[in-house]
Amino acid sequence: MIRAVPAAELAPTTWAHPVRARGLRVRAGRHLAVDGLDLSLGTGVHGLLGPNGAGKTTLMRALATVVRPAGGQLELLGRPVHERDGDLRTVRRAVGYLPQQFGYYPRFTVREFVEYLAWLKEMPKADIPGAAQRAIERTGLTDRADRRLKTLSGGMLRRAGIAQAIVNDPAVLLLDEPTVGLDPEQRLGFRELLRDVGTDSCVVVSTHLVEDVVAACTEVVLLHAGRLAWQGTPEELAAAGAAGHAGDSPAERGYATLLQQHRAERGTDA
């Protein structure tokens, strides 16, 4: 289905990077999970890699404006979102978010859920049914659209989660562990969707599957202990791998090498 393009979408942007963080610090409970992160992300698909506890999920929550940063600056689409009384509505309308723990209402059908989220995202009432149908089709759930969420399998729920995230055609799409529970064929379809969305918006995918990043992302962001360890293209990641390191593919070896280098540098700092 062809969508009419409103003039607002064609207006030139007034910011260099859709996502820009300077010295960002975010708390997860009492622990400072993101500690002094400097990051600029442009249009494209960005894969967020890092070991468990590196602060990936906490960073995603801060980007989704769910938690307020404890310090530093965070700008989304050129608007500051780190301030206590900042205007979040405008930014939130342009953000799509799939949390790591995707909570849903079991009695809703897929269509009702996606339409409800579209309503929460303040889409014009007349656009909601069409946008929901389009999002459901793009995630391959057309034949399950009127099934209740509690009857769906884990992979289908994940796809319903992706459908609600893309329903408002977000300029910033945040997906936290989107490929969990997807079978290999669905993952291929999902990568296709990522490449499609990433042509004109900023997509951030948090994952620990290096092969997903290499296949679908235009840029890799490596986090370690709440800081930026490395940022580059998947090709550079693969090239960074030393032969002696653990890993079954060049990208995995690159990941291990870069992480070890970063640990060594931090060790000499301390």
Partner 1 sequence: MSTHISAGQLARYATGTAGPDDADVWGVEIHLESCPDCRAGLAGRLDPGTAALVDRVGGGLAGALGPAPARRRMPARLHRWLAWTLLPRLAVVIGALTAALTLELLMPEFPSPVLLVAPVAPLAGVAAVWSRRTDPAWELITAAPQSGLLLLLRRTVAVLATLVPVLAVAGGIAGASPALWLLPCLATTAATLALGSRLGVPRAAAVVTGTWIAAVAAPAVLTERLPVVLGAGSWPGWAAATVALAALVWFRAGDFHRLASRY
- Residues at the interface with partner 1 (CB under 8 A): 27-29, 61, 64-68, 84-85, 88-90, 92-93, 95, 97, 99, 101-109, 111-112, 115-117, 119-122, 145-146, 164
User: Is 64 or 256 the residue whose CB approaches partner 1 more closely?
Assistant: 64
- Nearest of 169, 148, 137 to residue 5 by alpha carbon: 169
* Cβ pair 167, 119 in contact under 8 A: no
- In the bound state with partner 1, the residue whose beta carbon lies nearer, of 38 and 104, is 104
Report the distance separating Cα 116 and Cα 202, nearest Å.
Answer: 24
Instruction: Tell the smallest beta-carbon distance from residue 227 to partner 1 (Å).
Output: 22
Cβ of residue 109: shortest distance to partner 1, in angstroms? 7
Residue closer to partner 1 (CB basis): 2 or 270: 2
Residue of 189, 185, 184, 143 lying closest to 162 (CA atoms): 189
Minimum Å distance from CB 159 to partner 1? 15
User: Which SS3 state, helix, strand or coil, does residue 209 take?
Assistant: coil
The distance of closest approach from Cβ of residue 114 to partner 1 in the complex, given in angstroms and rounded to an integer, is 11
| Closest alpha carbon to 215 in 202, 198, 240 | 198
Name the residue nearer to partner 1 (CB basis): 64 or 238: 64
SS3 track for 22-57: EEEEEEECCEEEEEEEEEEECCEEEEEECCCCCCHH
DSSP 3-state of 211: helix
Phi, psi angles (nearest 5°) of residue 135: -65, -40
Compare residues 33 and 238 and give the one whose CB is closer to partner 1: 33
Of 264, 240, 270, 267, nearest in space to 49 by CA = 240
CB of 45 to partner 1, least distance (A): 20
Of residues 16 and 129, the one with the C-beta less far from partner 1: 129
Task: Supply the minimum distance, in Å, between the C-beta of residue 4 and partner 1.
Answer: 9
